[in-house]
Amino acid sequence: MTTNSEDNKKRKLAPQAETPSTSAAGGESAATTDTTNNNNNTGSKPANNRKSVPLPDPPLDIDDTCDVRWRDGNHILKARIIERRPLNYMQTKRKQKRKAQMSVKGLKADEIEYYIHYEKQDRRLDEWVTIKEFLLETLTRAPKEVDDLGDDSRRLRRRSTSPYAAANSAGNAPGDATAILSGGNWRGGSGDPTFAALEKEHEETTKVKNIEKIFMGGWEVECWYFSPYPEEYNEAKLLYVCEFTLKYMKKKKTFLKHKAECPHRHPPGREIYREYGLSVYEVDGKEHRVYCQNLCLLAKLFLDHKTLYYDVDPFYFYIICHVDDHGAHIVGYFSKEKVSAEEYNLACILTFPQYQKEGYGKFIISLSYELSKREKKTGSPEKPLSDLGKISYRSYWTYVLLHLLAKHDPSNDVSVKDISMQTGIKTEDIISTLQHLDMIKFWKGQHVVYVSQETINDYMKKQKKRLRLCKPDCLHWEPPGEEAK
């Protein structure tokens, strides 16, 4: 395994082209292999002999659509232009150590870099490309509208001055930063004009990734989404993150110095779970505010629907770690409100991309339900779930319900409420899963659970390996009130 050593070879991970198996805001496990090999709808392979097409004049503009050659060179995807900047923008910014000009006025098409979104694909694939990647013969111009902004530079300034950019440096306490968001998922569609304005601002602010990659724990990982790091860290090609404190740094020299001096080898808080090679730490957002805010900033790089408030006080954060001789290395986490009126037992969940497809997502979900059972409650994840979250939770619910029903004595009646109390899963989630499995039937004027032994047998045959789930005997935790007693 890769340890937190700079001498170790960096391992690089790119995001998935098609929806990964599970693990981000509400989910787990995205494969870390090439993005397009298992996607039949990503486009056809480009022809070897392409005719030369003259450069477009005027250059490509915002909202123009065109086929683009995917980064592996073997596939073509339809894309829409989201943003533009001069081709030498990043070099100029690094050389001058100040904000470079974003204006593309007077520049030719091949002197501009284009930020594109691949249609029918997740935003994690959005990227900057040059004109040579476009198949210009497929170009479709967007309808022109009167724009009094003049150029793209003011559009970028609207993003950079967003309230989300008000975060303070990770090494210092955030002070009185205004809490615009909250520690859970994005709660849109409320009808409240204030939240509607925030939703619009959120979409405008987060549409372009600001951090290209992070280096953490010996892994170099490509980021998926925008995260509101302080402005001086924006547009970093590589952001260094300490895996024990989650402090972030721009320079390798600063990172190496911090690493040499850092005394920490595990997250803050208290260890509540321990089995061979796996530990979980419970961190109170009020007691360890800076760590939790750094965690939220880091997680937002891989969660599209996470709201990033700096008010972490109302939350507990559960940090899942892989443990070896070098320390407890963070692989993922979930957050939970201390008091939830909606009885949510999980707010946000993430397995970092370098640890996906190893079963951590299902472990995190099962841990959240084990905590609910210890509280003598049923629970449900905060809505809305991400696309990956829906897949992961549906998979977990199916696994738990079918294994429970497989062991159940058919001669004894069992109700949905009984199943809910045994599993900690709320009745509405049980019913939706049974409906998905076609196990809810209408009989004598009421809905009943119809258990098909054939469905159970087919599922058991396809279940090639057992899920990595929380082991109750390894969990040393009681609800806060019970601990006080």
Q: Would you please indicate which residues are annotated as catalytic (active-site) residues? A: 382
- Among residues 458, 450, 400, 454, the alpha carbon closest in space to that of 429 is found at 400
CA distance 110 to 141: 17
Provide the 3-class DSSP secondary structure of residue 65.
strand
CA distance 280 to 477: 11
Contact status, residue 331 vs residue 23, Cβ threshold 8 Å: no
Provide DSSP, 354-367.
GGTTSSHHHHHHHH
CA distance 185 to 293: 15
Give the angle 172-243-366 at the CA atoms, nearest 5°. Answer: 115
* DSSP state letter for 20: -
Q: Which residues pair with 284 in a beta bridge?
A: 316
User: How many beta carbons lie within 10 A of that of residue 186, not counting itself?
Assistant: 22
What is the end-to-end Cα distance of the chain in Å, rounded? Answer: 42
Token pair belonging to 483: 């601990």
Token pair belonging to 7: 């001498």
Provide the 3-class DSSP secondary structure of residue 33.
coil
CA distance 240 to 248: 6
User: How many beta carbons lie within 10 A of that of residue 82, not counting itself?
Assistant: 16
According to DSSP, the β-strands at 380-381 and 344-346 are parallel
Token pair belonging to 3: 């340890």
Contact status, residue 331 vs residue 320, Cβ threshold 8 Å: yes
Q: Which residues pair with 345 in a beta bridge?
A: none
| 226, amino acid identity | F
Determine which helix (DSSP H) or strand (DSSP E) holds 182, and give its type and residue range: none
**Exposure string over 396-414, b if 16+ CB within 10 A, otherwise e:** bbbbbbbbebeeeeeeeee
Token pair belonging to 430: 């049980």
- Among residues 331, 468, 362, 297, the alpha carbon closest in space to that of 2 is found at 331
* DSSP state letter for 172: S
Contact status, residue 316 vs residue 291, Cβ threshold 8 Å: no
CA distance 462 to 450: 21
